[in-house]
């Protein structure tokens, strides 16, 4: 597992994640919480190339603002 980033907000059915520096965007990748429970998948990226934001959709779990999330 590698860290995707930190949850920074909820945008009505999707979660906004600030990616870690150097993360290369990958679409349709499963996203997991700290307990390794699947919470959704990456559906969109936006913002600066060096450190983009990711939208995680198809939410299956609940994640709080400030929570780290991971991809496999």
pLDDT band per the 50, 70, 90 thresholds, residue 62: confident
* CB proximity list for 50: less than 8 A, separation 6 or greater: 21, 22
What CATH fold (topology level) applies to the domain 2-71? Thrombin, subunit H (2.40.10)
**Residue-level pLDDT at 60:** 81
Over residues 39-54, mean pLDDT: 95
Tell me the C-alpha distance between 31 and 38, whole Å.
Answer: 6
Q: Which helix (H) or strand (E) covers residue 54, if one does? A: strand 53-57
**Residue-level pLDDT at 61:** 76
For residue 69, is pLDDT > 80? Answer: yes
* 42 vs 50, more confident: 42
pLDDT band per the 50, 70, 90 thresholds, residue 40: very high
Q: Domain residue spans in the chain?
A: 2-71
């Amino acid at each position: 597992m590698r860290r995707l980033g930190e949850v920074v907000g909820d945008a009505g059915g999707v979660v906004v994640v600030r990616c870690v520096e150097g993360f290369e965007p990958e679409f349709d990748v499963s996203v997991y919480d700290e307990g390794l429970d699947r919470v959704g998948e990456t559906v969109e990226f936006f913002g600066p190339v060096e450190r983009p934001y990711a939208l995680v959709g198809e939410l299956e779990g609940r994640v709080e603002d400030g929570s780290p999330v991971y991809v496999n």
